[in-house]
Amino acid sequence: MTSSSLSPEEDDEHLVKTAAAGDDRAFAELVTRYKRRVFRLGARFTRSEHELDDLCQEIFLKVYENLKQFRGDAPFEHWLSRIAVRTCYDALRKQRYEKRHLPLDELACEPRDRRIDDQLSAAEARSVVMWALARLKAEERLVITLMELEEKSVKEIAGLTGWTEVNVKVRAWRARQALKRVLEETGHEK
């Protein structure tokens, strides 16, 4: 059976089985297919290119370690997304711990005096959001990023994080309140 006669899902499944049997080329092919998506998600939670590279490597290493547990009930992409989101969450919790132990100077990169109006460019808006999100708790940052920037539904977020839908809603509401407070305190909300 050639890979060209398979649907993308079947093709992924075939690659997963081959990779799990020890074929590194099959795994490298899976990485090539999905690295863009993983890098895109990882960029939402990391502060530098180096950190992003480390995070993406960690995600794919976890995927490799768990290949044999992939049962094919859902598409490979969904399974990979769950691992990616949970690894990002772990990284956020670690960042939060590190931030508490960093000198204040290293955190002084606040995009101040940027009012939120129609004049704000997309790049500026992104930096304001990143700056404000960095001040939230790990679970708040994760849920608001998935909901508002990745445009995932409550159900999808619950599936990705393993939280209940009620929990997702509560955390998202708290995250919005915290975000409004952060922006208000720093003069973005005037």
Partner 1 sequence: MKNKEADERLDLLFAKARAADPGPSAREEGFEGRLMAKLREQRGEGTPWYLWAWRSVPLFTAVVLVLITVCGAQTPGTGAFLSHSLTGGYEESTLVSYYTGE
Per CB under 8 A, 23 contacts partner 1:
no
* Sole binder of partner 1 in the list 39, 82, 93, 156 (CB under 8 A): 39
Is residue 165 a contact point for partner 1 (CB under 8 A)?
A: no
d(CA 128, CA 131): 5
Tokens at 115, concatenated: 């009012």
Q: Are 160 and 82 in contact (CB under 8 A)?
A: yes
Degrees, nearest 5: CA angle 52-60-165: 85
- CB of 95 or CB of 145, closer to partner 1: 145
- Beta carbons of 141 and 92 less than 8 angstroms apart: yes
The reply to whether 40 sits near partner 1 by the rule CB under 8 A is yes
User: Binding segment for partner 1 among 75-83, 91-99, 104-112, 176-184 (CB under 8 A)?
Assistant: 176-184
Q: Does 31 bind partner 1 (CB under 8 A)?
A: yes
Residues 175, 172: Cα–Cα separation, whole Å = 5
Query: CB under 8 A: which stretch of 73-81, 87-95, 144-152, 159-167 binds partner 1?
Result: 144-152
Binding span for partner 1 by CB under 8 A among 30-38, 69-77, 89-97, 98-106? 30-38
Q: What are phi and psi of 88, to 5 degrees?
A: -65, -40
What are the two backbone dihedrals, phi and then psi, of residue 151, each rounded to the nearest 5 degrees?
55, 45
* CA atoms 57, 62, 65, 70: torsion sign: negative
Footprint of partner 1 on residues 103-142 (CB under 8 A)?
116-118, 120-126, 128-129
Binding pattern for the stretch 53-92 against partner 1, x by CB under 8 A and - elsewhere: x--xx--xx--x----------------------------
The torsion angles phi and psi of 66, rounded to 5 degrees, stand at -105, 10
CA distance 136 to 144: 10
Q: Is 9 in the site for partner 1 (CB under 8 A)?
A: no
Binding site for partner 1 (CB under 8 A): 24, 27-28, 31-32, 35-36, 39-40, 43-44, 49-50, 52-53, 56-57, 60-61, 64, 116-118, 120-126, 128-129, 148-149, 151, 176, 179-180, 183-184, 189
